[in-house]
Structure 1
Amino acid sequence: MNRVLRIAAILLIVSANIGCDQISKAVVRENLQYHQQVDVIRDNFILIKVENTGAFLGLGENLPVFVKNIILSLIPSITILALLLFVFAKTNLSQMTVFGLCCVVGGGIGNIFDRIAHGSVTDFLHIDLGYVQTGIFNMADVSIMVGMLVLLFAFGKGRGAG
């Protein structure tokens, strides 16, 4: 793949992940009240708006603001920037690896943007299948998880590099 097309593909995948995340959060912020619950598929797939000032499942929400900003904004921002530079620099990565990394980067940017712009991350998706249920999450979290699964699959199949 030529260099310009490769860069365009990377930016498109990252932007699509950010866009899906930010649009879905904007719709939720505009249309749901805090803790308002909407049953999409009975009580198995639920929309419920929460503002998460911590990390996963609210971990760290009681940390001092300075420490929280370093742990939840600065370090992730540096990590995401490093991943993005890695994807641009390493031209021998497989397409699957590039896709997975771009999903992780896009999801990470979506959540970091929320922390900086809103002071919290808007979470709104909840799955409850009885014995198996999730915490409340968002589309950025989905992007990150899909990206990680793609990376696990790529490296499991020996396709990390092209």
Structure 2
Amino acid sequence: MKLTKRSIYIILVIVLTIAADQISKVMVKQNVTLRTEVNPGERIPIIGDAFILMHVENTGAFLGMGSELNDTLRVLLLLILPIVVLGFVLRHIFLDKSLDNWSLFAFASIIGGGIANVYDRIVYRRVTDFLYIDLGGVFRTGIFNLADLSVTTGMIILVIMTFKKKKTTA
């Protein structure tokens, strides 16, 4: 594979996404008390009570979904399937030269976030989550991490780009 500016851009976004996620998780593990069923852990306000830092270890996927699955299903749905999908998406963005920079960034962010969380599941058998948003009950998130944020941001960008493309072709 020839390393073009486009390829370097894709690789750089993926690597920076993984690095930011992994560094943030290490910092949280070292500096924030773990929240468990017995111990409520720390709730560190970042921006008032709207944006809070706390430390949980998640054996499932986004918002803990899948944590109650048996080990075989968990490996299949949270490791093998994501690895296969990430591989296909990575192949797609390297081969589809018609993708614009925003779509490339979105796909690379999704891949980077996905790889970061899959790495945690393989190495630690759980994913460290630590960010929580509560906008006075109007909008509340589960506890998430930078990898989740990258995947979500990438998806939002892809939706916006899809609507923009439809609008220009209509």
Structure 1 length-normalised TM: 0.93
Q: Does 1:55 align with 2:58?
A: no
Task: String of CA shifts for 1:97-151, please: whole Å, max 9, x gaps.
Answer: 1111011111111111111111101000001111211110000011011111111
Letter of the 1:82 partner, please give it.
Answer: F
Which residue in the other structure is 2:39 paired with? none
Aligned residue number for residue 22 of structure 1: 22
Q: How does 1:6-155 map to 2 (within 5 A)?
A: 6-35=6-35, 36-130=42-136, 131-155=138-162
Aligned-pair Cα RMSD in Å: 1.4
Q: Structure 2: how far apart are the matches of 1:123 and 1:27?
A: 12
Q: Name the aligned partner's letter for residue 14 of structure 2.
A: V
Equivalent residue pairs, number: 158
- Matched residues in 1 for 2:27 and 2:47: separation? 19
**What residue ranges of structure 1 are gaps of 5+ in the alignment?**
none
Give 1:49 deviation, angstroms: 0.3
Shift of 1:3: 5.6
Question: Contact 2:121 / 2:127 at 8 angstroms: preserved in 1?
Answer: yes
TM-score by length of 2: 0.89
Instruction: Give the superposition deviation at 1:30.
Output: 1.2
Residue by residue over 1:59-92, the C-alpha shift from the partner in whole angstroms, topping out at 9 and shown as x without a partner, is 1111111110111011001101110011111111
Which blocks of at least 5 consecutive residues in structure 2 are unaligned? 36-41
Runs of 4 or more above 3 Å deviation: none
Is the 8 Å Cα contact of residues 59 and 126 (structure 2) preserved in structure 1? Answer: yes
Once the two structures are overlaid, the 10-residue window that deviates more, 9-18 or 53-62, is: 53-62
Q: Distance in 1 between matches of 2:59 and 2:3?
A: 39
1:92 is paired with a residue of what secondary structure? coil
SS at 2:99's partner residue? coil
- 1: CA distance, partners of 2:43 / 2:155: 29
In the alignment, the residues of structure 1 paired with residue 62 and residue 5 of structure 2 have an alpha-carbon distance, to the nearest angstrom, of 35
What percentage of aligned pairs have identical amino acids?
A: 39
Residues 2-11 or 142-151, more deviating: 2-11
Report the Cα offset of residue 42 of structure 1. Answer: 2.1
